[in-house]
Amino acid sequence: MNRLRIFVLVAASFACAGCKNDGPKLVDVEGVVTFQGEPVPNLTIHFVPETGRPSWGKSDAQGRFKLSYDPENSGAEVGQHKVWVQFRPASPDEEENFPQALAKMGKARQEMLKKYGDRMNPQYEVEINRDTRKVEIKLE
């Protein structure tokens, strides 16, 4: 009987060895994205760490966003992130008329997307540390 108890305890300790959280260190991050001082709605903001999985958020009408890491987790990994943005249609009508929606943005916002929308060569960086809770993305 003692051998059975010892076996069960040893088996349980091995099983729990995989229970500790060895995943990335995530920080819940919210923020605001502005362009020339004005909030930017319907913008997807991508945070790409030097290594690891990217996070993203979509801005609301006031430019506010909250980062998602994956479908089950919010936040972003601790570390330096390159940031790029992408305009996403807010409705099926907007998606259907996407070229017209882009044209209505005006030249300044089109230039903003040209400058900050290049995922291969992001022009904006943010440091996320354990104390980061809010970030301001100021696009000029």
Helices (H) and strands (E) in the chain, counts: 4, 12
| Of residues 98, 78, 72, 74, the one with CA closest to residue 86 | 98
Residues 6+ apart with CB under 8 A from 91: none
pLDDT in tens, 75-85: 999 999 999 99
pLDDT at 2 over 70: no
102-133 confidence digits (pLDDT tens): 666 678 888 899 999 999 999 999 999 999 99
User: Domains of the chain: which residue ranges?
Assistant: 24-139
Domain 24-139 has CATH 2.60.40.10: yes
Question: CA-CA distance, 81 to 128, in Å (whole number)?
Answer: 7
